[in-house]
């Protein structure tokens, strides 16, 4: 259970850092991928998607961490896996990723697999607890 909370907390922290950066300095987020935001619509879009939506995701993960960590693991496995899958689509459609994309493909893949592994362990442990309770009564 402690590893579940560490994983959920680390995910919240990483997403929250990007979200806060996007709210206060959207250009800094896009500088990581060498894209210039040259109009207010572009700035507001990055603030909205990476900032506002990111904070909403963080609050959802925090809620799940407290109320239902198992669902938090499932959500984050899909979340990180979707990011990695999107990068794979880019590689197939548009060619090799740069350093930033390659590094994040690795990180997102590891996070997706770690979440899946923790989810499987969580369910295995929960199943053993149910068996123990049934055999006790």
> How many C-beta neighbours within 10 Å does residue 96 have?
8
Residue 107: inside a domain, yes or no?
yes
Q: How many CB atoms lie within 10 A of CB 107?
A: 14
The residue length of the chain stands at: 137
- Asked if residue 18 belongs to a domain, the reply is yes
In a domain? residue 87 = yes
Instruction: Give a yes or no: residue 136 inside a domain.
Output: no
Number of domains in the chain: 1
- Domain residues for 13? 2-131
Q: Is 9 a domain residue?
A: yes
pTM: predicted TM-score of the whole model, two decimal places: 0.85
75-94 pLDDT, tens digit per residue, is 999 999 999 999 999 999 99
Q: pLDDT per residue over 60-80, tens digit each? A: 999 999 999 999 999 999 999
Query: Is pLDDT of 111 > 80?
Result: yes
Interval 26-46 mean pLDDT = 96
Per-residue pLDDT at 113 = 97
Residue % of the chain over a pLDDT of 70: 91
- Asked if residue 70 belongs to a domain, the reply is yes
Is residue 32 in a domain? Answer: yes
> Within a domain: residue 137?
no
Residue in the structure block whose two tokens are 């669902």:
71
Query: Do the beta carbons of residue 89 and residue 25 sit within 8 Å?
Result: no
Check residues 130 and 105 and name the one with the higher pLDDT: 105
Q: Residues of the chain with pLDDT > 90: what percent? A: 87
pLDDT over threshold 80, residue 50: yes
Distance CA 59, CA 55 (A): 6
- DSSP-derived letter for residue 34 is T
Tokens of 130: 């149910």
CA atoms in the 13 A half-sphere facing the CB of 134: 6
| CA–CA distance, 27 with 3 (Å, rounded to integer) | 34
């Amino acid at each position: 259970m402690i590893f579940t909370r560490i994983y959920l907390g680390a995910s919240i922290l990483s997403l929250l850092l990007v979200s806060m950066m996007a709210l206060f300095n959207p250009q800094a987020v896009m500088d990581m991928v060498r894209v210039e935001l040259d109009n207010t619509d572009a700035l507001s879009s990055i603030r909205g998607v990476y900032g506002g939506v990111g904070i909403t995701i963080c609050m959802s993960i925090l809620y799940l961490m407290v109320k239902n960590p198992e669902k938090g693991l499932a959500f984050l496995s899909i979340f990180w896996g979707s990011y990695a899958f999107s990068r794979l689509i880019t590689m197939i459609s548009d060619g090799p990723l740069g350093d930033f994309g390659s590094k994040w493909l690795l990180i997102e893949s590891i996070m997706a697999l770690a979440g899946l592994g923790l989810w499987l362990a969580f369910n295995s442990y929960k199943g053993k607890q149910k068996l123990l309770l049934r055999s006790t009564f």
